[in-house]
Structures are given as C-alpha cells and as structure tokens.
Amino acid sequence: MGGGGAPGNPQAGSRFGAYRDPVLKQIETYYDAVPRSAARAEEFGPLTLFVREGAGWPYYARPALGYDGEATVADVDRVRARQRELGAPEAFEWVAETTPGLRAAVEASGLTVHEHPLMVLEGDVLPVAGPEGVTVRMVGARDPFLASAVAAPYAAFGAEPAPDAVAQVAGRITAGLTHLSAALDDAGTALSAGQHQPVGAVSEVVGVGTVPAARRRGLGLAVTAALVADARSRGVELVFLSASDADVARLYGRLGFRTVATALIAEA
C-alpha cells in the first residue's frame, strides 16, 4: 500500500477510518493479538489493558478490538488507576486514524502523547550489505552471539537488559514468536540488532537499534532488510513498523516503507 496519510494529516482520519482500510484493519488485529503470547488482557469497556505475565518489558493499554464506542476520560482514568495498582507504567498505544477520539481523552487525563509515523512495506526489500568487516545475519536461540545481539538495542537507547532478557528472547525464538537479526563485527560483537514478531501473515519490525559508536553506517537498514527477508521467507504478507520520527521514516523509505498512518504513544 502506498502514499498513505502522513502524520498530522487532517484528511487521514477520513482516508484511513477504523476498519474501512484493510491494511489498518490487519494492523489493529495484529496489535490486539501480539501481546497475548506473554500477557493477560483485562477489559475496561472501550479499552484493553495488557498485563505482562512473567519478566520482560511491561505492556500498555490500547483500544479494545472492534469496540464501537468512544473512550472517555473516566475510562482512561480507570485504566491508569489499575496500572498504578499493578506497578505498571501508565502507558497507552493506538493508531490515530482508527481511534481518532482517544487522544483527547488521554490528554485530558494528563498524559503526554507522542506521534510516530506508522509505515507499511511495499513489495520486497533487496539485501543491504553491511560495511566491510560486518556480517548481517539472523541469530538463533542457541547462537553464541545471542547475548550480544539482545544487548545491542538496549545500548542504543542507553539502557541495560534485564538479567533474564537473553533467556526470554531465546524462548520466544524457539517458540517462533520472535526472529532476531544482528550486524556482527569480526569479533562477533553485535553493533546493531532488531526483531520481527509474526502473527499469521502479519509481522512488525521492532526494537532496531545501533550502538552509538557504530551509527551512521547503514547498519540499522541492513538489519531491517534482513528481518524483512526472513519475514517474507516465512510467508508474511504485511510487514510494518513505527519510526521514531520523520527523519528516521525517510531512512526506512529507502527500503520501500511508506507512511500510512500515525502511531500514538501516551505516557505519564
């Protein structure tokens, strides 16, 4: 699908309305399904709160799949109270064009909303070679470089992985829930890495990050191209991602990703 409404486009709501656009319908269904492999769902009328079971990144609340009513400030406040009770971040994620009324309720509740271009891949991606001395490949659950590949995106964002992060990722790879690609230097150290998470014929590219010392070498694009190739080899028809901002979206545009909507993330 090409040339969708850019972030902030006032016409995007009419062009990509909830369940009128087949691509956004697929993405909405995916967003509802993908957390359920590691979280339980608690229903709050127009909102669903995903609560992680076990260790790992905490989840968020999002619009309930197929719910026709509008979420109110009171609905958002109820979910936030439950998140505080659970010790979970007060976070919401949704697509602006499919749930256009939620932003006002979330902001009225006191949360800050961030916009991110939501991008869908057109066609296939040709392999992108890494620079000399770097090998880009998929990393398996028993790969000796798995720990380094798991750590690289954390380092990219100035964080440290949880003690059991490698075991968590290994388990997801074994279960077919996650597929991991990395750019490895001659010593086997991951300079960049990322994942895709398939659910049926849809997969999202997530967590692509490059360690600060190796940036501006095209490693993130090479890792993303490898993830796309892996997804296609597994029968995935729709590959999508959320870019951090418009500049990063332009980089992904080189691979054939096109902005079709706006992903919104709200935090306290």
Average pLDDT score over residue span 78-92? 97
pLDDT computed for residue 20 by the predictor: 62
pLDDT computed for residue 239 by the predictor: 98
Both tokens assigned to 266: 């709200």
How many residues are recorded in the chain?
268
pLDDT computed for residue 9 by the predictor: 38
pLDDT computed for residue 126 by the predictor: 85
Is residue 59 exposed (0-12), middle (13-18) or buried (19+ Cβ within 10 Å)? buried
Tens of pLDDT, residues 231-250: 999 999 999 999 999 999 99
pLDDT computed for residue 231 by the predictor: 98
State how far the Cα of 155 lies from the Cα of 161, in Å rounded to an integer: 9
**CA-based torsion, 21, 22, 23, 25: positive or negative:** positive
Both tokens assigned to 140: 């398996």
| pLDDT of residue 54 exceeding 70 | yes
Considering the entire predicted model, what is its pTM? 0.90
Question: E-strand spans in the chain?
Answer: 39-44, 47-52, 61-63, 91-95, 112-121, 134-139, 179-185, 190-199, 202-210, 238-242, 257-267
Both tokens assigned to 190: 């991951």
| pLDDT of residue 8 exceeding 50 | no
Mean pLDDT of the chain: 91
Q: What is the DSSP letter of 141?
A: T
Tens of pLDDT, residues 173-219: 999 999 999 999 999 999 999 999 999 999 999 999 999 999 999 99
Contacts made by residues 246-255, CB under 8 angstroms, sequence distance 24+: 246/7, 246/117, 249/117, 249/119, 251/220, 251/221, 252/119, 252/221, 252/224, 253/119, 254/221, 255/121, 255/125, 255/128, 255/221, 255/224, 255/225, 255/228
